Amino acid sequence: MPLNLQANFHYPDKSTQRDYSAGDDFYQLLIDSHRDLSDDVSAALNARLILLLANHIGDISILQQALHLAGGNKDTA
C-alpha cells in the first residue's frame, strides 16, 4: 500500500465545509500544544507524537516512504 499523499484530514462523525478545515484544526491543535514550551520540551513532545502516530500506522513500508519524502533519507538530501 503506498503512502497516501492526498488530503485525508477528517472528523469521522461529521462532514466539513471545506477540504482542509479538519487539517487546519489539527494544525491549530499542534501549534497550541507547543505554545509556551521550551525548545527541549517541544522536541520531546514531537518525538512522542511521532512515535504514537507511527505505532498507529504500523506498516513499516509506509513509515519508510514517509521518512524518505520528509527528507530523512540522507542519500536524497
What per-residue confidence (pLDDT) applies to 21?
75
Q: How much is the average pLDDT of 4-12?
A: 83
Q: How much is the average pLDDT of 46-56?
A: 96
* Average pLDDT for the chain: 87
Cα-based angle 18, 66, 9 (whole degrees, multiple of 5)? 15
What per-residue confidence (pLDDT) applies to 15?
67
Three cell numbers, residue 18: 471545506
Asked whether the beta carbons of 42 and 54 are under 8 A apart, the reply is no
Residue (of 6, 37, 33, 3) closest to 19 by Cα position:
6
What per-residue confidence (pLDDT) applies to 67?
93
Q: Can you say how many angstroms the Cα of residue 24 is from the centroid of all Cα atoms in its chain?
A: 12
19-33, 38-52, 54-68, range with the lowest pLDDT: 19-33
Residue (of 45, 23, 25) closest to 35 by Cα position:
45
Calculate what percentage of the chain has a pLDDT beyond 70: 84
**pTM reported for the whole predicted model:** 0.75
